[in-house]
Structure 1
Amino acid sequence: MQITVVGSGYVGLVSGACFADVGHSVTCVDLDEAKVAALSAGHVPFYEPGLEPMVAKNIKAGRLSFSADMTQPVANADAVLIAVGTPTRRGDGRAELAYVHAAARAVAKHVRNFTVVITKSTVPVGTGDQVEDMIRQTNPAADIAVVSNPEFLRQGNAIEDFRHPDRIIVGINEARARPVIKQLYHPIIAGRNLLIFTSRRSAELTKYAANAFLAMKVSFINEIADLCENTGADVRDVALGLGLDPRIGPKFLVPGPGYGGSCFPKDTMALAQTGRDNASPLKLVESTIAVNEHRKQAMAQRIIELCGGDVDGKKIAVLGLAFKPNTDDLREASSIAIINALQLAGAKIAAFDPQGTTPATTILRDVEYCDDPYAVAVDAECLVLVTEWDIFGSLEFKRLHKLMATPRIVDLRNMFDRAELESLGFQYRGIGLPQRAPQMMVGLAE
């Protein structure tokens, strides 16, 4: 198939590269000519494991190309994917649809034959109707079917998610789009019954509902973690007991400093606003947002408390800046709110992240960026783990103890062994753990 992807950001580039890798001919269109030139040379502007070699491989094979002009790519396409950004609109929390609307109008000008226009961007309910109306108004002769096909890609695991999805949601209002979608995904589904066809509006809402529900699980376990600390329970045991219930499941029941990233914050806000706009207020979603915002500030206060209630003039070492491991994305990352709060309290911040340093320099000010986790710890009054990169699992704590001014660790991911650290002389504080280390660990029976 001939596929054109409008937008070469995270979703667009991952989708384009993966479709090319299974044999389709893909052109990714982007208005940024410098970006197009870099991508054409095989340089990916963000970190996603395995993506850069996949892009280079498919460029070399002739299946993937990039262009700043959509004229021929759209005219020749069997399917056009709109994969532009939908950031939160300032002031009201709604999704900003200007880029989607602009893409729809531009696509309309160049459509020649029957084309399935697929909205990959995360958009509010009813956006597909708007896209179809705009295309028909711009080009009444356009022979198109507009489809909603939301992505469910986890940053850091996007290629695996794309190649081995647990479901593919496709919202269609015209039956003739169905065979095109089946042909598009045939190399991926390989006979499995993964295609779920719904109405277009149902598909749009499914994406938002899924992300809001996962965000709600995160906020729920974070509140349970606080209750565990105040009652002497261990959140790890509680989460285990919850997660083994098949009606609940273990995923996203890991306490931490609050969710961030490109999806959960903006999607929960957009869904909450959609509820208000349609006289169906979503109180659980609104509470999830509020809990998450409070969580980030509470984590900064936790660090200050371990430092004796005062961090003015003290060096705090931060391990991890990206909102999750295996990405360089700092959008709405907990590290930003935590560092800002600590700086407001007078702390001096040093930080290390395996991939997130470069984007961090455009967001955070007056931070000392270090090249490794040991350099960041020199003369620090407290070491704070924010992002659970694998590299932090092999730290030499005896070495860290010697480097730090005061051996304190705030582990916001419960990644480290509390008993080991306390035996080495560290003051340790995790998430949702009893104040004193338990004498017996509870777990699965042998």
Structure 2
Amino acid sequence: MTSPRFGVNYTPTRGWFHHWLDFDLDEVRADLDSIAALGLDHLRVFPLWPVFQPNRAVIRPRAVEDLLALVDAAGERGLDVAVDGLQGHLSSFDFQPSWTRTWHRRNMFTDHDVVDAEAELLRTLASALAAKGNFLGMTVGNEVNQFSSGPHPDPDRIDAAQAERWLRRMLQACESGAPGRFHLHAEYDAAWYQDDHPFTPAHAARLGAATAVHSWVFNGTAQRHGTDGTATRHHAAYLIELSKAWAREPHRPVWLQEVGAPAPHVPADRAAEFTTATVEAALDCADVWGVTWWCSHDVDRSLADFPELEYGLGLLTTDREVKPAGRALAESVERWRGREHRPAPRTTALVVDVGPDATRRSVCAPGGEVFEAFARLTAQGLRPTTVLSELAQDSRHLASRGITRVVLPAEVR
């Protein structure tokens, strides 16, 4: 029997991710106690890149030791740990080391020396973690695709071929350090929605051990459809099913690796309801490895300059008190405990035509014909999935996914 995994992206209560500068294992243990009390089974953690590799030739042993101590403390509480490697970008802040910026400005995706150093950091972390029984695997980094194009104010521009070479090199470094673990990469939704973005849906759905989905309804979904709209409550499910259009394996795992309830798009008094609806909709999709909520604890308001919505995304307060969304997720965990995750096949597939080089991805974005047609079909009670236009008449492909009906977006009224 395979039950879905439930976890959380760990945001420390004391110092946020700056806690790596003054690592306090007792504070971490107290945080992990409050997470484990929700019934969750795993964490995703974020070593800050400049702290762990402040010079291209230096990976700090003490920082690696602190990471291992965190993983051990999680294991003592029955929590598995996935580790992101290149941080990268977190909650609107960029964390790139000084040896890639200003006077040392180099493209993080194509410069030979920088890429070698990135690969060595990932290999070193994976190797140090490989012996830990509760280590799940590496994610290359958190939404590092945002460094590759606009709207980032100073992007390291690349094309799709260069993005793929970089991803393959980083994933190989993870595998070299910890063979056979759950290594993958993760992008924010520009990979699915932005026409000219160099990280593509094919990269997301074909490279690595699973497809990672980051679902945020402040991307135009909630603004267009409202808190209670079908598209808003099913946004995570939509991204999961959209990813399957590009997957080569019919049962490739999909990890809902980030999803949260951002105010004011989801008001605080609706966060619990939104959490429950989002989780249940996501788990009505097949092949979901697990759901990992953003985030564990609120951001302390003594820290300055965060976007307002970032302060209150936690399942728990900075005093480690459970919030309504935390209780809702804990109830979902309890409902699914011991249950086999085997939803019925989605037999209706919406055709996705983004062009041969995925240059029309905006049809999949909020307001686009694919996005809106999916929402309308869902509102009608039809549990749609998606299929690429070039595969829409491939009987073998359709049969492998259980699809019996193919619908064009223009046909959905």
Task: Tell me the TM-score normalised to structure 1 length.
Answer: 0.26
Q: Which has the higher contact order (CA 8 A, sep 6+)?
A: 2
Larger C-alpha radius of gyration, 1 or 2? 1
Task: Tell me the TM-score normalised to structure 2 length.
Answer: 0.27
